Amino acid sequence: MKTLLVIDVQNDFMPSGSLPVPKGDSIVPVINKIQDKFDLVLATQDWHPIDHVSFATNHKGKSNFDVIELYGKAQTLWPNHCVQGTEGAAFHPDLHTNNFEAIFRKGTDKTIDSYSAFYDNGHLKSTGLTGYLKEKGISQVYFCGLAADICVYFSIIDAFNEGFDCIFIEDASKALDNEHLKQLKIEMIAKGIKVLTSELL
């Protein structure tokens, strides 16, 4: 079953949002166009409580994009984004969502950040996505969405480590930092993760 995972195509990650990914809105028509090439389309949403530990506003004297240590790991402090139930947490209004068979929400635990669609950043809690895919007999997953160098990347790595064959659709994704994404693509390809464009689907 050919499976697509659409990651965090939400208003707060668009150019007018609180945590904008450059040209993030440009991938919406690409994702809409490719959905009919897949038997199963799934999606994720960042879904944070307002008092989430990753928000700079919840750390006195700290600013957006400061880095602190949290549970022995580096934690970037983000602008408030994708707060549960807000317009910023909603999918981009032009994104076709009727084909989404299931939506997995992440970042719901206020005490830890969660970039990946599969686990929180400490790998303490699963979203259940691995089990969902395995129960359906899926062994290969295509990935797209926002931001390519953060949530998409960490989702791909977790999926790869769970034994899935992973394909990154680069023109259906945009990065917060394009130079960083270049390095990550080299790393992914070295692991055996495929990188392709939507024309090759």
Taking only the tens place, the pLDDT of each residue in 10-29 is: 999 999 999 999 999 999 99
pLDDT of the residue at 73: 87
Query: Of all helices (H) and strands (E), which one includes residue 154?
Result: helix 153-161
As a whole-number percent, the residues of the chain with pLDDT over 70 amount to: 100
pLDDT of the residue at 71: 83
Average pLDDT for 179-191 = 97
CA nearest to 151, candidates 55, 79, 46: 46
pLDDT of the residue at 130: 97
pLDDT of the residue at 72: 86
The mean pLDDT of the chain is 97
Structure tokens at 3: 């499976």
For tokens 């960083």, the residue is 180
Between CA 194 and CA 97 the distance in angstroms is 25
Q: Which of 23-32, 39-48, 71-80, 154-163 is predicted least confidently?
A: 71-80
Q: Are strands 40-46 and 165-174 parallel, antiparallel or unpaired?
A: unpaired
Residue 106 is a catalytic residue: yes
Q: Is pLDDT of 196 > 90?
A: yes
Residue 8 is a catalytic residue: yes
- pTM beyond cutoff 0.95: yes
pLDDT single digits (tens) 125-166: 999 999 999 999 999 999 999 999 999 999 999 999 999 999
> Which residue among 8, 46, 120, 149 is the active-site one?
8
> Which residue among 25, 46, 82, 106 is the active-site one?
106
Domains along the chain? 3-49+83-200 (3.40.50.850)
pLDDT of the residue at 179: 97
pLDDT of the residue at 183: 98
Report helix, strand or coil for 34: helix
Residue 151 is a catalytic residue: yes
> Which residue among 82, 144, 151, 166 is the active-site one?
151
CA nearest to 143, candidates 183, 184, 111: 184
Average pLDDT for 46-53 = 98
